[in-house]
Structure 1
Amino acid sequence: MAQNPLSRPLTIRFQHEAQVPPQDPCRLALIRFGRENRADPARPMELTVALPPLVEPVPPELWLADEPVAAGFEDGVGYSRTDKVLFGWILLNEADFNHDMNQAAEHAYDRLLAFHRGRGFPHLLRIWNYFPNLHQEAEGLDRYQAFCLGRHRALERVPLTEGELPAATAIGTTAPGLLVYFLAGREPGVQIENPRQVSAFHYPRRYGPKSPSFSRATLKRWPDRAHLYISGTASIVGHETLHTDVLTQLDEIIENLRALIRSAGEDISNRVGDPGDLSMLKVYVRHAEDTAAVKARLEATLGDQAPAVYLRGDICRDDLLVEIEGLYA
């Protein structure tokens, strides 16, 4: 079979549903968005995330490898892989953990960390975390803080140091279940931090007993072109939330994205002049009624051809109204 003419191990893009081939031996993942989580061990390359689209239609994400993919489901983890990259996921029922997000997160990360390392892909490049009711409190912590605590304990046992933390997203969904999925490689990426922000690893304790464990972005140099995987990015400067209205928060996010692109160096900045040049933008909006204004401002700033989708999701702090993740792949 002919290889991908771009000869990269992976490309990721939005693809309209009607243009997605029903069968493709090089499909590493197909990720859709809806009102419930769906994951089928018999089709481990496909996921649906419980993030309702706010602007229809929302095309799925299509991850294409440059060679045929092997896939399976083992030890509660669905996966697909080539010789160079590994995609994997776990979907947990919180009832199995007495609805304790701390325990569920620790279990999920224990499983995933053992899985990707055990299969020869020791380096996490990007990870996504989705679960409902981020701000519901129990025993003095909200569920996002409890998630961070459980994740931190699992990472400490590996151990995974600050400089090895991947780019990440954590967003509140509309349906039960903790869904975590990831991209891992045989060789590491480069952690990118934002000079406008304190590393999340060094947040003050008032944000939770354990800091969020992620880098602001991961730069991965493949033989012919670099990828940039940008974490969920909010209106935070230093470690403080800035602004109380959604549009000013959006403007601050765009400045943070620009800073990350510059910090990635010439590998990226020679190809990506502005966030609108990224391959993909996912815009998470807390209040559905803000969508039209957010879309209009983003298009006015980045152009109406920017590859963005708009999804209903809760953000990690209750004073944050919008968040954007991006990638260049």
Structure 2
Amino acid sequence: MTLTHPGAPALTAALDCFFVRPGEDERARTAGRQVLGRVTYGHSGRPPTLHNGAPLVRTAMADAATERITEVWTTDRPVRSGRDGGLVYAEDGEHFFCAVRIDACGVYRDTVRQAYEAAFTLMWRLGYTEPLRMWNLVGDITGPNAQGMETYRDFCVGRAQAFESWSDRIGGMPAATGIGSLRPGIDLYFLACRTGRARHLENPRQTPAHRYPARYGPKSPSFARATLLEPGSGTRPVLYVSGTASIVGDDTVHPDDFGRQCAVTLANIEALVSPENLARHGLAGGFRLADLDCVKVYVRDARDLPAARAHCAEAFRADADVACFNVGVCRPDLLVEIEGICR
């Protein structure tokens, strides 16, 4: 393990995220803050590395029809970063970011389980025992693996096995996104925090993903619909919304209608973040759909990108960071998936 920055004193932490586009300078938005990690949703991908003292993840998610963005995670605490096997990571004493790349292979379940368990082991060793948010960018997500199983279902087996093996130490599954990417293999990046800060939420309109019936695969997807990071001293709560699609109960609805799928997806998010749903989980407060920021919209068919942008312009604030990508979604009949952050 190699550390590139010294440890941090005990300070109140605040985790933030914003998007940078080509030609923009991130320095004005990081003034007085430290970078915990960067993720470039670009035209090509490389294994994660350390760049200027922070992890840099480069993924193949943008094609000619979509713009490249870099997602920048910052904190108001000093950061230390390092490598551990194939993982690159950074920590600030309250938040942890790590990333790993799984190269293309015929069957993914074992390598996915190993990658997740390596990340859990590192988190736990460094004291970040509460997973907060996870992203899984899967090449050819609905295509077949070498055994004829859908790649996403293959991935879900390995992820579920890792959560099962850590069930005595990890109390719940966090918010997550499982989405397609434009190159073979799987890129993973994770956020975690200190114990007791993360509260995982389900959606009253949807069956919890980990309870899906067997027709969706031998192992159900392992994630919550959202995770609330409860505030430390002087900070406000932040709600991380998982990748959300046109699913009611566990069924895809309006499989051939992009506009109606968008409407259901946004209604699902609205119900998820509402004060009524937070109260259902024993939490005060709540959010509106217009509070969503750092929105990523994943669109299966390029012809639907203009409609996706129009729906987002109507649903979200004019100054919200919104990025659209033309990639596969986790079911062949899903046309769009949306995620974001409420703060």
Deviation per CA, 1:90-113: give whole Å up to 9, x if none. Answer: 112134xxx211222112112111
Moved more, 136-145 or 193-202: 136-145
In 2: Cα distance, 1:172 partner to 1:56 partner: 15
Match of 1:32 in 2: 40
Letter in 1 for 2:288: G
- Select which of 260, 265, 288 maps to 2:272: 260
Equivalent residue for 1:229? Answer: 240
Instruction: Tell me the distance in 1 between the aligned counterparts of 2:69 and 2:219.
Output: 36
Equivalent residues of 2:48, 2:99 under 8 A apart: no
Q: 2:331 aligns with which of 317, 321, 325?
A: 317
Deviates more, 1:236-245 or 1:172-181: 172-181
Contact between 2:13 and 2:94, CA under 8 Å: does it hold in 1? no
Alpha-carbon distance in structure 1 between the residues aligned to 2:246 and 2:26: 35
Compute the displacement of 1:268 (Å): 4.8
2:128 aligned residue (105, 121, 134): 121
TM-score normalised by the chain length of structure 2: 0.86
8 Å CA contact 1:226–1:268 kept in 2: the answer is no
1:19 matched residue in structure 2:
25
Q: Aligned pair in 2 of structure 1 residues 152, 127: CA closer, same or farther (>3 Å)?
A: same
**Match for residue 214 of structure 1?**
223
In the alignment, the residues of structure 2 paired with residue 135 and residue 170 of structure 1 have an alpha-carbon distance, to the nearest angstrom, of 11
Report what 2:5 is aligned to. none
- C-alpha deviation, 1:137, in angstroms: 2.0
Q: 8 Å contact 1:233–1:325 — kept in the other structure?
A: yes
Partner of 2:341: 327
1:75 match = 85
> How many correspondences in the alignment?
319
**Does the 8 Å CA contact 1:218/1:229 hold for their aligned counterparts?**
yes
SS, match of residue 164 in structure 1: coil
Alignment partner for residue 299 of structure 1, among 283, 305, 313? Answer: 313
| Equivalent residue, structure 1, for 2:3 | none
Kindly tell me: are residues 124 and 162 of structure 1, through their superposed partners in 2, closer, same or farther at Cα, counting changes over 3 Å? closer
Choose the corresponding residue for 2:143, options 126, 130, 136: 136
Displacement of 1:177: 2.3
Contact 2:291 2:317 in 1 (8 A): no
Identity of paired residues, percent? 33
The answer (yes or no) to whether the contact 2:16–2:73 under 8 Å persists in 1 is yes
Report the TM-score when normalising by structure 1. Answer: 0.90
How many angstroms apart in 2 are the aligned matches of 1:38 and 1:184?
A: 23
Among candidates 284, 293, 296, match of residue 298 of structure 2: 284
Unaligned ranges ≥5, structure 1 = none
Provide the C-alpha distance between the structure 1 equivalents of 2:92 and 2:315, rounded to a whole number of angstroms. 38
Shifted more, 156-165 versus 28-37: the winner is: 156-165
List alignment gaps of at least 5 residues for structure 2: 1-7
One-letter amino acid of the counterpart of residue 219, structure 1: L
Counterparts of 1:89-104 in structure 2 under 5 Å? Answer: 89-95=99-105, 99-104=106-111
- Answering whether residue 177 of structure 2 is matched by residue 169 of structure 1, we say yes
CA RMSD of aligned residues (A): 2.4
Residue 305 to residue 58, structure 1, CA distance change in 2 (3 Å): farther
State the distance in 2 between where 1:28 and 1:312 align. 27
1:301 Cα deviation after fit? 3.4
Deviates more, 1:294-303 or 1:226-235: 294-303
Amino acid of the residue matched to residue 66 of structure 1?
D
Distance 1:33 1:311 in 2: 9
Residues 54, 310 of structure 1: 8 Å contact kept: no
Whether 1:240 aligns to 2:255 is no
Q: CA deviation at 1:33?
A: 1.0
Note the alpha carbon deviations across 1:157-205, whole angstroms, 9 max, x for none.
Answer: 1126896001000111111221111000112311110000010111110
Task: Tell me which moved more, 63-72 or 46-55.
Answer: 46-55
Q: What SS does the aligned partner of 1:297 have?
A: helix
Partner in structure 2 of residue 65 of structure 1 = 75
